[in-house]
Amino acid sequence: MATSGRSGLASNHEVREAPSNSAQSGAAAVLANMQPSSGPAPPASPPVLGLHREPMYNWQATKSSLKERFAFLFNNELLSDVRFIVGKSRQAQRIPAHKFVLAAGSAVFDAMFNGGMATTSTEIELPDVEPAAFLALLRFLYSDEVHIGPETVMTTLYTAKKYAVPALEGYCVEFLTKHLRADNAFMLLTQARLFDEPQLASLCLDTIDKSTADAINAEGFTDIDLDTLCAVLQRDTLSIRENRLFGAVVRWAEAECYRQQLPPTSENKQKVLGKALPLIRFPLMTVEEFAAGPAQSGILFDREVVNLFLHFTVNPKPRVEYIDRPRCCLRGEECSINRFQQVESRWGYSGTSDRIRFNVNRRISVVGFGLYGSIHGPTDYQVNIQILESDKRITLGQNDTGFSCDGTATTFRVMFKEPVEILPNVSYTACATLKGPDSHYGTKGLKKVTQESSVGTKATFCFFSSPGNNNGTSVEDGQIPEIIYYI
């Protein structure tokens, strides 16, 4: 996404953005200070254009295109038939507009002006919208130009969603995605959940998985809400020792106590953590880590401390209420196998799942598939991926998601939300249902593939064609060339 530069129209004043709530204010502060990990710093937001007051006679003759003529009418009293009072109190700004242009670009504005409950007022108050963000929305509707920056992207995203302008919403998400890093991943995750942006939320979670330690040490971690904290603690893919994760959760609990105006006592920390506390995987700690941290924190009940010490030290181990499933990023390096020796084109899709059966000689956790992409250049696909236990026909894991390809014959990663445990010598079915153009596909398939990790651990996969409707995928050729896993 390119942020367009300043237009040639005169600017009479600038508007300072007043965040509409504390979440947006915090987001703006972090985004305003962030720098890309490489390349030039993001451009500052352009100044908000003031009202046109240049001579109007024969202005049409100076504009050679429809776009220029509509851009000239942006934030201009000329021919306007509605005005908006945008913002609150002293920050409010009076902005002229044209009902036809707004209704042509937004179903919300169309209903506002032309629907059964259409307003008859020529002046409309919008106290919940920031002037800078509303002007960014109008500029886009009048000229297709995108003017967003770190200080205005969140409020512009809110405004684009409020008035159902998905194209501008997409530019905002793209801007945020471009600047996503470990140190702002939690802040952006909170915003993505607030604005119901699952694609951005998924990218934030992926970043947190890969750089968990850096992410939880960032300032934004202690500002997240309880539901977001739980969503992160539930993940099997965090790359951090559980004792360090516990320390970060204690920091969050202290911050939450202050937000709720509670003394940061052990009892209050336990209270504010609530449903998040059982998601910490105490059994994954060593007995030394547990003794040095959680056992002395006062956050756990005495009987829980005793049961966990018994879990660490005796056999058979007593049952504990905490998850003991390892987070897969701590179980070794990521591995993948490719079952094809050659790539061809073309492979079509009509709503039927590509399927291939497989078994493995050892226990692994499958985290995703590598899939082929378009033969027609850069394209986006919608995809549902699944792993089924073949004989029982039980779905063990799935994800409705999407991926972007660049038109090459390489594979593109599509990941499950959570790792899928695969047991030795049990038959499973890998499924992928794609919506998109014709893709590449693999040929000269192998019935058996052995992959050795850098530390010498081997896993042997055996493949079998899946009976029934499988979109043509078989051992010999088709889709689902790669399985991505941890041992």
In whole angstroms, give the CA distance from residue 32 to residue 47.
15
148 and 262 co-located in one domain: no
- Tokens representing 11? 């600017």
**Count of C-beta atoms within a 10 Å radius of residue 247:** 14
Residues 351 and 300 in one domain: no
Residues 77, 104, single domain; the answer is yes
Between CA 156 and CA 154 the distance in angstroms is: 5
Residue 479 CB partners (closer than 8 Å, separation 6+): 347, 354, 371, 372, 432, 434, 439, 441, 442, 471, 473
In a domain, 24, yes or no: no
317 or 430, greater pLDDT:
430
Residues 234 and 297 in one domain: yes
For residue 15, tell me if it sits in a domain: no
Asked if 70 and 105 count as a contact pair (C-beta separation under 8 A), the reply is no
Q: How many residues does the chain have?
A: 487
Is residue 55 packed enough to be buried (19+ CB in 10 Å), middle (13-18) or exposed (0-12)?
A: exposed
Contact (Cβ atoms closer than 8 angstroms) between residue 10 and residue 52: yes
Cα-based torsion angle of the residue sequence 116, 122, 123, 126 in order, rounded to the nearest 10 degrees: 30
Q: What is the pLDDT of residue 18?
A: 34
At 240 the pLDDT is: 85
Q: Which residue has the tokens 């204690």?
A: 250
Share of the chain above pLDDT 90, in %: 54
Domain presence at residue 47: no
- Between residues 276 and 418, which one has the greater pLDDT? 276
Give the model's pLDDT for residue 373.
Answer: 94
Residue-wise pLDDT for 290-321, tens only, equals 999 999 999 999 999 999 998 888 766 677 88
Segment among 61-70, 156-165, 343-352 with least mean pLDDT: 61-70
Do residues 231 and 372 share a domain?
no
What lies within 8 Å, CB to CB, of 322 at 6+ separation is 278, 280, 281, 282, 283, 308
Q: Is 356 helix (H, G, I), strand (E, B) or coil?
A: strand
* 320 and 383, same domain (yes or no): no
One domain, residues 377 and 460: yes
Residue 4 inside a domain? The answer is no
Structure confidence at residue 62 as a pLDDT band (50, 70, 90): confident
Q: 10 Å Cβ neighbour count for 125?
A: 13
H or E stretch at 428: strand 428-435
- CA distances 6 to 26, 139, 342, Å, are 27, 12, 50
Number of independent structural domains in the chain: 3
Q: Are residue 349 and residue 482 in the same domain, yes or no?
A: yes
Q: Are 367 and 269 in a shared domain?
A: no
User: In the prediction, which pLDDT does 332 show?
Assistant: 59
Cα atoms in the Cβ-side hemisphere of radius 13 Å centred on 130: 25
pLDDT for residue 486: 83
pLDDT surpasses 90 at 13:
no
Read off the pTM. 0.54
List pLDDT tens digits, range 109-165.
999 999 888 888 889 999 999 999 999 999 999 999 999 888 889 899 999 999 999
The residue among 367, 337, 335 whose CA lies nearest residue 454 is 335
220: in domain: no
Please tell me the predicted confidence (pLDDT) of residue 26: 58
481 shares a domain with 338: yes
Q: How many CA atoms lie within 13 A of 376 on its CB side?
A: 9
Q: What is the pLDDT of residues 36-45, one digit of tens each?
A: 333 333 344 4
CB atoms near residue 364 (< 10 Å)? 23
Q: Where does the pLDDT of residue 234 fall: very low under 50, low under 70, confident under 90, or very high at 90 and above?
A: very high
User: Is 376 part of a structural domain of the chain?
Assistant: yes
Residues 154 and 249 in one domain: no
**Better-scored residue on pLDDT, 56 or 374:** 374
With residue 230 as reference, give the H or E element that holds it.
helix 226-233
- Max CA distance (Å), the chain: 91
Higher pLDDT, 377 or 20: 377
CATH number, residue 365: 2.60.120.820
Give the residue with greater pLDDT, 5 vs 260: 260
Residue 9 has pLDDT above 50, yes or no: no
Position 209 in a domain: no
Q: Which residues pair with 412 in a beta bridge?
A: 371
**Count of CB atoms within 10 A of residue 377's CB?**
11
pLDDT of res. 27: 61
pLDDT at 163: 93
* The one-letter amino acid at 233: L
What average pLDDT does the structure give for the chain?
Answer: 85
- pLDDT of 83 strictly over 60: yes
Is residue 188 within 8 A of residue 214, CB to CB? The reply is: no
Average pLDDT, stretch 404-421?
Answer: 85
| Tens-place pLDDT, residues 348-406 | 999 999 999 999 999 888 989 999 999 999 998 989 999 999 888 888 888 877 788 98
Checking if the pLDDT of 463 tops 70, the result is yes
Residue 200 and residue 193: Cα distance in Å, rounded? 9
Higher per-residue pLDDT: 45 or 485: 485
- Is residue 477 classed as helix, strand or coil in its secondary structure? coil
Domain-terminating residue out of 313, 329, 345: 329
Question: Which of 304, 329, 354 is at the close of a domain?
Answer: 329
* Assigned domain for 35 exists: no
One domain, residues 247 and 353: no
| Percent above pLDDT 70 for the chain | 86
Last residue of a domain, one of 179, 214, 235: 179
Which of the two residues, 455 and 192, has the higher pLDDT score? 192
Query: Which tens digit of pLDDT belongs to each residue from 199-214?
Result: 899 999 999 998 898 9
Domain extent at residue 150:
62-179
CATH code of the domain in which 109 resides: 3.30.710.10
In the predicted model, is pLDDT for residue 15 greater than 60? no
SS3 84: strand
pLDDT at 270: 95
